[in-house]
């Protein structure tokens, strides 16, 4: 299949106009390019397909291609173009450098799409298409996560309701009700609870009264429940709600709230799972709170782990799409980059690495700057996947470096200060301290680092030269100017060449930031030190939670720091490369099913709000053509 030839216009049209100007290939054409036949995928319309898990087993003997992760410097609220760079690089590798390449990206939430940020399909002439399908329902994975999450939420409140109104024997008799033949038995999920309790008896009638009580009564402490309901819409008025106000639930009202769907632990489970069996195991061991005796209560304790797996059985298959220039894309999972690890799925990466094979490239993206995104990619995702990247890209813009050099605040929705659109070499040079720290932190993992300078029309040669010089001085393998937003893959050819050389010269060495058997505190402090902190301060609540998780046997999990993306420190206003600060840990929570502990540095909102003028003002449907208008 020949690459799609782009007709590039200047000035660059809107993203949706560019996306609508290119007729996508039927997805079966993209699949054939990867040697996938119709038995390997299920079609979802003409331009999307779910690639099925057995592909991994068929390709087991094939060697992997090169693995590349894209991160960035500490961003402005406008973003610095990581997704656009990821897509543009892959268009360059596939359409111009004749390499086998697959892009692996997160599925975006509809919250930001209709809110303040817009979509996440890339931008300009480096996009995933159809862009509207990518940014909206896609193949329904987020809807499946929403349904599964809320089923578990309903199971929690319902279980507390029934336990409050029934005796131990009544509960037990209903849980182990006789089948049509009059026989009572434990079903599969109940055996998991029996094993957890150390009860080896196989028949319900053999349990003692004490064992009946322990099995049937979870005795959930409402004050410890961490599981909340979710929806894929930004709605600030659902951040705090009261449930149980109906007449039938009298006396059981409690405060809870909604998160946005991508903040659900089930999304993180999907992103970190390695197989159907692994997903079932992770979903079942998700902890929703504690009993009044301090024991963790899981989804399997509630009997719902199997049902959650059924709701997620199709979502585990990655979605195949394409770029504007006809290169393949896997879209799969979209965990929050703050309270979760912010990377697309392990399964998509593993399938992609086999499909491209030796000499091919899989390029994936890590959320936010490298202090959050690449750190979590390396220490969480790579631990569970067993995969090791050969190259990491750090995307930088002159605009963001000027901000880090002391420029005025960059505020989404407001015009840029003139300093950002006129030459100021001194400001750029001062801001390169931020870039240098990101390079050094990323090199510490043992990978080659290539800096992608994402060029804007107002950037000058002198400013670009300063960035390139600073990047090389900080240890970057190369620093390359890119114009992929304006020119598509053609504008990222030099980046593609640099990435290829960086991968081919990789030593194969790899270092984690901390060992898993270190204490929770030691792991937190290792990450804080990489930020430039001189120490860590724990609140009373954080100390209590660390003690509890250690007692419960969860201290061997990796750490997922939940902190602002706008600074190395906890203070979003501290730009550049701050040092000597003490990192405050307000609270410590856990996603046991996903497999990480997440300390809260400051306050993290898990349900965005809509701005005064949301993006939905611009979005409409052309009722003549059926095409979407105004999506960005």
- Judgement on whether residues 119 and 176 belong to the same structural domain of the protein: no
Q: What is the pLDDT of residues 197-255, one digit of tens each?
A: 999 999 999 999 999 999 999 999 999 999 999 999 999 999 999 999 999 988 899 99
pLDDT tens sequence across 506-555:
998 999 999 999 999 999 999 999 999 999 999 999 999 999 999 999 99
- 458 & 349 share domain: yes
**The pLDDT value given to residue 604:** 80
Residues 471 and 368 in one domain: yes
* pLDDT (0 to 100) of residue 414: 87
Residues 330 and 422 in one domain: yes
Specify which residues 105 forms β-bridges with. Answer: 331
476-479, Cβ contacts within 8 angstroms, sequence gap of 24 or more: 476/394, 476/439, 476/449, 476/450, 476/451, 477/391, 477/448, 477/449, 477/450, 477/501, 477/502, 477/505, 478/450, 478/451, 478/502, 479/450, 479/451, 479/453
Give per-residue burial for 538-577: e unless 16+ CB within 10 Å, then b: beeebeebbebbeeeebbebbbbbbbbbbbbbbeeebbbb
The pLDDT tens digits of the residues spanning 75-125 come to 999 999 999 999 999 999 999 999 999 999 999 999 888 987 777 889 999
Element (H, E) at 469: helix 461-473
Do 284 and 409 belong together in one domain?
no
Question: 269-291, pLDDT tens digit by residue?
Answer: 999 999 999 999 999 999 999 99
Q: What pLDDT band is residue 38 in, cutting at 50, 70 and 90?
A: very high
Per the structure, the complete domain to which residue 260 belongs is given by 151-290
Can you give the pTM of this predicted structure? 0.96
Give the residue with greater pLDDT, 431 vs 413.
431
Residue 513 lies in a domain: no
Position 1 pLDDT exceeds 70: no
Residues 355 and 437 in one domain: yes
Exposed, middle or buried: residue 235 (CB in 10 Å: 0-12, 13-18, 19+)?
middle
Q: How high is the pLDDT of residue 178?
A: 86
Q: Is residue 349 domain-shared with residue 498, that is, in the same domain?
A: yes
Residues 255 and 160 in one domain: yes
What's the number of domains the chain is made of? 3
Q: What is the pLDDT of residues 130-154, one digit of tens each?
A: 999 999 999 999 999 999 999 999 9
The mean of the pLDDT values for the chain is 95
Compute CA distances 97 → 31, 93, 323, 354, 386, whole Å: 20, 5, 15, 20, 29
CATH assignment of the domain containing 552: 3.10.410.10
Identify whether residues 486 and 356 lie together within a single domain: yes
Q: What is the pLDDT of residue 367?
A: 87
Are residues 163 and 120 both part of a single domain?
no
One domain for residues 323 and 469:
yes
Return the bridge partners of 71, or none: 394
Q: Give the pLDDT score at 177.
A: 87
CA 264 to each of CA 30, 123, 143, 156: distance values in angstroms, whole numbers, following the listed order: 32, 27, 12, 15
- Residue pLDDT, tens place only, 318-349: 999 999 999 999 999 999 888 899 999 999 99
CA dist., res. 476 & res. 173, Å (int): 66
């Amino acid at each position: 299949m020949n690459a799609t030839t782009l007709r590039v216009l200047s000035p660059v049209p809107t993203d949706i106009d560019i996306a609508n100007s290119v007729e996508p290939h039927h997805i079966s054409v993209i699949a054939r390019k990867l040697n996938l036949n119709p038995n390997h995928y299920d079609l979802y319309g003409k331009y999307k397909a779910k690639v099925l898990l057995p592909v991994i087993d068929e390709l087991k003997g094939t060697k992997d291609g090169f693995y590349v992760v894209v991160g960035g410097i500490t961003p402005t609220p406008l973003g610095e173009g990581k997704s656009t760079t990821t897509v543009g690089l892959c268009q360059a590798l596939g359409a111009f450098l004749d390499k086998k390449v697959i892009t692996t990206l997160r599925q975006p939430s509809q919250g930001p799409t209709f809110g303040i940020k817009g979509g996440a399909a890339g931008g300009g002439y480096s996009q995933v298409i159809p862009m509207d399908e990518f940014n909206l329902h896609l193949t329904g994975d987020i809807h499946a996560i929403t349904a599964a999450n809320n089923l578990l939420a309903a199971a929690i409140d319902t279980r507390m309701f029934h336990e409050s109104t029934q005796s131990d024997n009544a509960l037990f008799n209903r849980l182990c009700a006789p089948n049509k033949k009059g026989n009572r038995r434990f079903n599969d999920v109940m055996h998991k609870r029996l094993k957890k309790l150390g009860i080896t008896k196989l028949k319900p009638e053999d349990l003692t009264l004490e064992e009946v009580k322990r099995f049937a009564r979870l005795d959930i402490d409402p004050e410890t429940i961490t599981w909340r309901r979710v929806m894929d819409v930004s709605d600030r008025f659902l951040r705090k709600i009261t449930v149980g106000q109906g007449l039938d639930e009298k006396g059981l009202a409690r405060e809870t709230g909604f998160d946005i769907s991508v903040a659900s632990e089930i999304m993180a489970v999907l992103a970190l799972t390695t197989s159907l069996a692994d997903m079932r195991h992770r979903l079942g061991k998700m902890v929703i709170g504690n009993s009044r005796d301090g024991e963790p209560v899981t989804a399997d304790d509630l009997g719902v782990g199997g049902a959650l797996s059924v709701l997620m059985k199709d979502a585990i298959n990655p979605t195949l799409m394409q770029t504007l220039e006809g290169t393949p894309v896997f879209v799969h999972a979209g965990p929050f980059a703050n309270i979760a690890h912010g990377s697309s799925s392990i399964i998509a990466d593993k399938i992609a690495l086999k499909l491209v094979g030796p000499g091919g490239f899989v390029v994936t993206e890590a959320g936010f700057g490298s202090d959050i995104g690449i750190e979590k990619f390396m220490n969480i995702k790579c631990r569970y996947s067993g995969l090791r990247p050969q190259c990491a890209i750090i995307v930088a813009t002159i605009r963001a470096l000027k901000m880090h050099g002391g420029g005025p605040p960059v505020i989404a929705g407001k015009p840029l200060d003139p300093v950002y659109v006129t030459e100021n070499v001194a400001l750029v040079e001062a801001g390169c301290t931020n870039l240098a720290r990101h390079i050094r932190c990323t090199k510490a993992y043992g990978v080659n680092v290539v800096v992608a300078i994402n060029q804007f029309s107002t950037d000058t040669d002198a400013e670009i030269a300063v960035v390139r010089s600073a990047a090389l001085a900080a240890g970057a393998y190369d620093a390359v100017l890119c114009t992929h937003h304006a020119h598509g893959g053609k504008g990222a050819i030099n980046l593609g060449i640099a990435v290829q050389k960086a991968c081919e010269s990789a030593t194969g060495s790899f270092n984690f930031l901390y060992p898993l058997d270190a204490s929770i505190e030691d792991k937190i402090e290792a990450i804080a030190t990489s930020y430039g902190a001189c120490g860590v301060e724990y609140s009373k609540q954080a100390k209590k939670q660390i003690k509890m998780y250690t007692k419960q046997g969860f201290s061997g999990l990796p750490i997922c720091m939940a902190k602002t993306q706008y600074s190395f420190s906890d203070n979003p206003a501290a730009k550049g490369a701050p040092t000597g600060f003490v990192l405050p840990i307000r609270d410590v929570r856990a996603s046991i099913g996903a497999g990480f502990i997440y300390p809260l540095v400051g306050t993290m909102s898990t349900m965005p709000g809509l701005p005064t003028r949301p993006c939905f003002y611009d979005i409409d449907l052309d009722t003549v053509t059926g095409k979407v208008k105004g999506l960005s």
